[in-house]
């Protein structure tokens, strides 16, 4: 079976992915520097799923992707077929707290990916990099009604000529800019050194599988996970602004399914490939209403509040995204979001006592 190196194996997606790949008999090595857990503790929160006693059923090494000597050694020894790179600071609001967090985010993410690319070039140039990027790289306004492509190039008419340009990216946080910067470096390295990479523009992930961590705080809790936690804690779901902000979403189990499909459909030649990875597009208002509907079945009498938007973003906009590759590769989307939400409520209600309400409301303002 393929050898998979997972960088960031202790994160929300990383742990669930390693468990899934090991169950499917892949040979897995996980690397992590515990940065997620440290950051969550630093902002006064903790995983809602208790992590004490959690097993690690795969080879594991403590380490940092920015450590070139370590990564080089691992690549030389293991010669992985695939390197799944999840070892990034994943939070937009965290990157907006202050100068230190902004610098930490961009330097961790950009330097980590750049270091990995050099190590791949030198020690395993035929491996495929599977990099978790973000749909946030497309911004909220550039494309208007036009289709966001699943490609690194678009053809446009400009100044009287038909030209092919790099797919436009644009962002509203220093975190998302770091993802855009990574995309620039990765595509350049593929073009320059003949590496293979799949850059996954992933929507926001929600849900719970097995013993993976579950964050619900302002910074590391994605919106649906925060809403479900608020409902369980009998706090109103907080919509930032008007709630028309639309993005792609997918349950964690779909993210894992898609990552395995990507691993099964590696490039045959030196290539940089973009994959848009999501189940469906939803506005914040739609999500809040779905969580309310399911939460009310659990007799939680869910309230929805709109608060002043701490972010800078469009609150009403079009959003039209190409979504072909994963479906062609066999992705079966979980279209029943309510069933997913019901599962979440069932699992998380038993940890209700661990919720720290103080970490949920946004304290970091973009301006």
- Taking the C-alpha atoms of residue 349 and residue 294, their distance in angstroms, rounded to an integer, is 13
Q: How far is the CB of 205 from a second copy (least distance, A)?
A: 25
Which residue number, 52 or 69, has a Cβ lying nearer to a second copy? Answer: 69
What percent of the chain is helix, strand and coil (3-state, nearest 5)?
A: 40, 20, 40
Which residue number, 107 or 305, has a Cβ lying nearer to a second copy? Answer: 107
Structure tokens at 156: 């446009």
In order, the DSSP letters of 28-77 are EEEEE-SHHHHHHHHTT---SS--TT----SEEEE--TT-HHHHHHHHHH
Which residue number, 25 or 157, has a Cβ lying nearer to a second copy? Answer: 157
Which residue number, 154 or 233, has a Cβ lying nearer to a second copy? Answer: 154
- 189 phi/psi in degrees, rounded to 5: -65, -40
Q: How far is the CB of 234 from a second copy (least distance, A)?
A: 35
Which residue number, 52 or 164, has a Cβ lying nearer to a second copy? Answer: 164
Q: Which residues of 320-355 are buried (b: 16+ CB within 10 A; e: fewer)?
A: ebebebbeeeebebbeebeebbebbbebbeeeeeeb
Q: How far is the CB of 206 from a second copy (least distance, A)?
A: 27
Q: For residue 61, which of 52, 71, 53 has the smallest C-alpha distance?
A: 71
- 238 phi/psi in degrees, rounded to 5: -105, 115
Q: How far is the CB of 166 from a second copy (least distance, A)?
A: 5
Which residue number, 86 or 114, has a Cβ lying nearer to a second copy? Answer: 114
Which residue number, 180 or 304, has a Cβ lying nearer to a second copy? Answer: 180
- 257 phi/psi in degrees, rounded to 5: -55, -45
Which residue number, 116 or 360, has a Cβ lying nearer to a second copy? Answer: 116
Strands (E), the chain: 3-7, 27-32, 59-62, 82-85, 128-132, 153-158, 161-166, 196-202, 204-206, 237-240, 246-251, 271-277, 280-283, 304-307
Q: How far is the CB of 324 from a second copy (least distance, A)?
A: 15
Q: How far is the CB of 222 from a second copy (least distance, A)?
A: 22
Q: How far is the CB of 68 from a second copy (least distance, A)?
A: 5
Strands (E), 284-350: 304-307
Q: How far is the CB of 6 from a second copy (least distance, A)?
A: 22
Q: How far is the CB of 70 from a second copy (least distance, A)?
A: 13
Q: Which chain residues interact with a second copy by CB under 8 A?
A: 68, 98-100, 102-103, 106-107, 110-111, 114-115, 118-119, 142-147, 154-161, 163-166, 168-172, 174, 177, 180-181, 184-185, 188, 191-193, 312, 366-367
Using a 10 angstrom Cβ sphere, with 0-12 exposed, 13-18 middle and 19 or more buried, the burial of residue 247 is buried
Which residue number, 109 or 202, has a Cβ lying nearer to a second copy? Answer: 109
């Amino acid at each position: 079976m393929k050898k998979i190196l997972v960088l960031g194996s202790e994160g929300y997606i990383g742990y669930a992915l390693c468990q899934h790949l090991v169950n499917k008999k892949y040979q897995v090595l996980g690397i992590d520097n515990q940065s997620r857990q440290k950051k969550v503790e630093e902002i006064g929160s903790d995983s809602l799923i208790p992590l004490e006693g959690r097993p690690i059923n795969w080879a594991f090494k403590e380490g940092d992707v920015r450590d070139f000597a370590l990564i080089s050694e691992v690549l030389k020894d293991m010669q992985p077929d695939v390197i799944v790179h999840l070892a990034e600071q994943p939070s937009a609001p965290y990157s907006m707290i202050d100068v230190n967090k902004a610098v930490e985010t961009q330097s961790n993410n950009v330097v980590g990916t750049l270091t990995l690319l050099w190590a791949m070039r030198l020690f395993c140039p035929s491996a495929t990099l599977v990099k978790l990027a973000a749909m946030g790289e497309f911004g909220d306004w550039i494309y208007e009604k036009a289709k966001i492509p699943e490609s690194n190039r678009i053809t446009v008419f400009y100044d009287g000529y038909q030209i092919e340009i790099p797919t436009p990216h644009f962002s509203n946080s220093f975190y998302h800019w770091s993802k855009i910067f990574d995309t620039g470096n990765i595509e350049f390295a593929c073009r320059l050194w003949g590496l293979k990479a799949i850059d996954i523009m992933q929507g926001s992930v929600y849900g719970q599988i097995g013993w993976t961590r579950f964050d619900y705080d302002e910074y590391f809790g994605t919106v649906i996970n925060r809403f479900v936690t608020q409902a369980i804690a009998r706090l109103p779901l907080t919509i930032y602004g008007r709630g028309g902000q639309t993005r792609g979403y997918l349950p964690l189990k779909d993210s894992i399914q898609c990552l395995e499909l990507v691993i099964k459909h590696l490039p045959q030649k030196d290539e940089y490939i973009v994959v848009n990875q999501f189940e469906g597009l939803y506005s914040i208002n739609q999500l809040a209403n779905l969580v309310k509907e399911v939460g009310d079945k659990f007799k939680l009498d869910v309230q929805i509040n709109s608060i002043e938007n701490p972010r800078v973003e469009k609150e009403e906009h079009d959003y039209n995204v190409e979504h072909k590759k994963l479906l062609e590769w066999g992705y079966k989307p979980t279209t029943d979001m309510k069933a997913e939400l019901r599962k979440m409520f069932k699992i998380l209600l038993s940890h209700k006592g661990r919720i720290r309400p103080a970490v949920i409301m946004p304290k970091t303002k973009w301006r």
